[in-house]
Homo-oligomer: A and B are copies of this chain.
Amino acid sequence: MAISRFLPLFLGARDHLDDRDREALATIPVRREQFSHGDKIITAGPTPGESCLLISGMALRVHDIGKQRVVSALQVPGDFLDLHSFLLATLDHDVVAQGDCAVEFVRSEELTRITEERPHLTRLLWLCTLIDAKVTRVWTAAAASLKAHERIGHFLCELHARLGIVGLIRDDSFNMPIEQKDLADILGFSVAHTNRALQDLRGRGLVTWNKGRVHLPDPDALAALCSFDSRYLETISAAR
C-alpha cells in the first residue's frame, strides 16, 4: 500500500515539492493500522524499526513522571507520531490514541533511503520535527503563563490553526474526539476547574463545544484573549 496523500499535503504546505520528491514519497510502502481510544500506538522503550504517520483521529504523547501521567503533546492528522524513532534509539514516552485513529507505518530503512537520496525531502522531514518542537515550546510557554480559561482557548486556537493546514476546518468548526475529562487530563487541570473555565469561554461567546464538535465563532477574538499568535505554525520552510 502506498503512503497516504497526507504526507505530500503536509510537506507541500511548507515548501514546493518537485516531481521527483513526489515520486519518492509515493513509492514508500506502508502498512495501515487502526486503533481505538486508549490503545497504545507506540510504547516507550527501544524504538521499533518503523515510524508512523497519523491519518485520522488524534493521539497523545504521554510521559510517566514519578507516579503521574502527563501529556506533553497532541498530534493531529498529517503528523508523524514518531519520526524521532527513526533516529533515536529509545523513546521516552508512549503515544496513545485519543478516540479512534488510523495510522500508517513506514519502515525506518525507507526513511534512511530518503536521507541518502533526496536531500531536499530530508530537510522537509527534518522540518516536520522542528515544527513539532516549536509547538511543544509554545505549549510550555502557554502552560507557564496563562490561566485556565486562556489555556483552553489557546489550545483550541492551536488546534484550529493546525487542523486548518490539513484542511480539516469547516466554517471555523472541527471535530474534537475529546471530552471534558480528557481536556482536563491533557492540560493538567481538574475536571471541575476545566468545566468552570470552559463555561467562562462559553459565557464570552467564544467557544461552542457539543458532541465532539467545536465551533469558534470569532477565532480572532479568542486568539487575542488567549495571547495566541498563529505565526509560529504558518511555517514556510527555508529548506530549499
Contact = CB atoms under 8 A, between A and B. Distances in A.
A141 interface: yes
A92 B231 contact: yes
Contacts of A119: 115-116, 119, 122
A84 B134 CA distance: 9
B61 A137 contact: yes
Interface in A119-174: 119, 122-123, 126-127, 129-134, 136-146
In the complex, the count of this chain's copies comes to: 2
B145 A70 contact: yes
A191 interface: no
Interface residues of A, number: 54
A141 B238 contact: no
A101 to B, nearest CB: 20
Given A72-B141, A140-B143, A144-B143, A123 B127 contact: no
A47 B238 contact: yes
B133 A88 contact: no
A133 B143 contact: no
B137 A73 contact: yes
A85 B238 CA distance: 8
A227 B139 contact: no
B239 A145 contact: no
A236 interface: yes
B129 A126 contact: yes
Contacts of A126: 87, 126, 129
A47 B65 CA distance: 35
A108 B129 CA distance: 18
8 contacts: A61-B137, A66-B146, A72-B138, A87-B127, A88-B134, A115-B119, A119-B122, A129-B129
Interface of A: 47, 61, 63, 65-66, 68, 70, 72-73, 84-90, 92-93, 108, 112, 115-116, 119, 122-123, 126-127, 129-134, 136-146, 188, 227, 229, 231-232, 235-239
